[in-house]
Structure 1
């Protein structure tokens, strides 16, 4: 072949072959669907054969396309790795960490000074969001996520499981009989996170019946997307909240919240460090992973 195939067309071919969709490939490449379609047509014209079969569900690689796709996918991965290595050669390295706002404010940020002292050449950028991020598309090096650890295709390290405690506003508890058993919590509205599972599991773990009329009424309490909002609602006297102990420490110490029962309970979910396998080889990512695992071990 006299002239090399266009790199842009090959990249479009790799993305469409990997995702099975022109639209998904366009989103990954940050271009329009029309631009991707044009590059695929150009490549097919140059090689003189179809590389995809058009189906109702999307695009499927032809036999010829499937034969060359793995090699091209590996080649672009090598280019990405080499490009990242060049960026890492700078004296000042940047590390982008994504996590939820509550975890960032209550746990990560207060400890970051120790990482900065150990690795002053690494600039850490913390992005606080509850949305699920695409580590490659969103240029995120490390995500700290609260879940069950099921993150296919990514390198996952378990950090710690939060301990949940029941808390309430002192004003809500004033003049009320003290809470002596888990069942006593059912006298109050119970505030939830979005999956509304923690209170039911907590009550069951401590042998409190949750099939009574009182339980049904209490469990209909409001739900909040973020633990920070859940804590604020409890402070405002809207009900009892079951929150990670480490998130409520400041409010309890300041008297804005009280722990109504000394029955800490491990949550189903844990915090995980998640990164792409290729990103895990970067020195800055390795340094951050080693440091945060030490911090998580010390916090247990």
Structure 2
């Protein structure tokens, strides 16, 4: 090994040549265009030749720059792949799962101990966030998403489709008007989802013609908040059965009217195709499919 290589300058040169733009290279490297320009200037001074010429639409490789750019590009690609391999060696016995807080608290967390008991050698981490996962950026192996299942470029496995149930605090219903049919729910404050859409759809699905009163009431971004508001006696919440079951079993909530309605979306397990091949991920897929099959309603 000879002199210390100017790796930062070589990387700035390689990315600028690949993208044809100092700004684009800076965004790729997470630095300023000025920093990229400075590294290229230092490299040119060190080797004694010009590597780029400026044009109207960006920068272009000189003859000298073009002679070495392809091999440097392959070299940095090989370095990145090798580093990813080193990272995977430390992560291959771990499993990071991302899902929304309500599903994590109401469905996944009460069950995940059974997976760990079956596979004690796998280190499990659950991340609860409403933000969508970027599999290229985030260190997440599996995401459990509530949607329509269209996730381009990703492996998508349908798990279960929950139904919507109207639930409330027992004391609220005991003190208020009787609920014998869906329209009777309008006699109570309605606790709304963030889009104020579920109550309207549920009432219409049961033949109730409803106007603005179907959208009135406090709205909440997450089912956990809806459940807490309902348990506090603030009104009737329309939530997924999988989210409400624990509070129903504990007596904190009761079903106001036994008329469930299938929701438009389902829960999907989503992952990158290459990640699915890992034994740890495949073990989790097999386990959660079995758990979902034992949940009601099932697919």
- Give the TM-score normalised by structure 2: 0.77
Q: Kindly provide the CA deviation profile for residues 254-275 of structure 1, in whole angstroms up to 9, marking residues without a partner as x.
A: 3221101111111112111111
Q: Determine the C-alpha separation between the residues in 2 that align with 1:295 and 1:51.
A: 60
| 2:86 alignment partner in structure 1 | 83
How far residue 218 of structure 1 moved from its aligned partner, in angstroms, is 4.3
Determine helix, strand or coil for the equivalent of 1:272.
Answer: strand
| 2:148 alignment partner in structure 1 | 148
Q: Determine the C-alpha separation between the residues in 1 that align with 2:18 and 2:140.
A: 19
Q: Determine the C-alpha separation between the residues in 1 that align with 2:85 and 2:139.
A: 16
How far residue 150 of structure 1 moved from its aligned partner, in angstroms, is 2.8
Please list every run of 5 or more consecutive structure 1 residues that lacks an aligned counterpart in the other structure: none
Q: Kindly provide the CA deviation profile for residues 251-297 of structure 1, in whole angstroms up to 9, marking residues without a partner as x.
A: 22232211011111111121111112232222222221222122112
Determine helix, strand or coil for the equivalent of 1:171.
Answer: helix
How far residue 207 of structure 1 moved from its aligned partner, in angstroms, is 0.9
Q: Determine the C-alpha separation between the residues in 1 that align with 2:282 and 2:102.
A: 24
| 2:237 alignment partner in structure 1 | 241
Q: Are residues 1:270 and 2:266 paired?
A: yes
Q: Determine the C-alpha separation between the residues in 2 that align with 1:152 and 1:115.
A: 28
Determine helix, strand or coil for the equivalent of 1:278.
Answer: helix
| 1:208 alignment partner in structure 2 | 208
How far residue 105 of structure 1 moved from its aligned partner, in angstroms, is 1.5
Instruction: Decide which structure has the larger Cα Rg and report it.
Output: 2
Change over 3 Å in CA distance of 1:73–1:16 after alignment to 2: farther
How far residue 47 of structure 1 moved from its aligned partner, in angstroms, is 8.8
Q: Determine the C-alpha separation between the residues in 2 that align with 1:293 and 1:39.
A: 54
Change over 3 Å in CA distance of 1:220–1:153 after alignment to 2: same
> Could you tell me whether the CA contact under 8 Å between 1:161 and 1:266 is conserved in 2?
yes
Q: Determine the C-alpha separation between the residues in 2 that align with 1:196 and 1:41.
A: 54
| 2:63 alignment partner in structure 1 | none
Change over 3 Å in CA distance of 1:49–1:21 after alignment to 2: closer
> Could you tell me whether the CA contact under 8 Å between 2:165 and 2:259 is conserved in 1?
yes
Q: Which stretch of structure 1 is more off in the superposition, 122-131 or 280-289?
A: 280-289
Q: Are residues 1:287 and 2:286 paired?
A: no
| Matching residue within 220, 228, 234 for 1:232 | 228
| 1:166 alignment partner in structure 2 | 166
| 2:62 alignment partner in structure 1 | none
Change over 3 Å in CA distance of 1:210–1:134 after alignment to 2: same
Instruction: Give aligned pairs, total.
Output: 279
Q: RMSD value over aligned CA atoms?
A: 3.8
Determine helix, strand or coil for the equivalent of 2:117.
Answer: helix
Q: Determine the C-alpha separation between the residues in 1 that align with 2:52 and 2:168.
A: 68
Q: Determine the C-alpha separation between the residues in 2 that align with 1:210 and 1:286.
A: 47
| 1:112 alignment partner in structure 2 | 112
Q: Determine the C-alpha separation between the residues in 2 that align with 1:228 and 1:277.
A: 31
Q: Structure 1 segments of 4 or more deviating over 4 A? A: 3-7, 10-17, 20-24, 38-47, 49-55, 70-78
| 1:129 alignment partner in structure 2 | 129
| 1:37 alignment partner in structure 2 | 36
| 2:186 alignment partner in structure 1 | 186
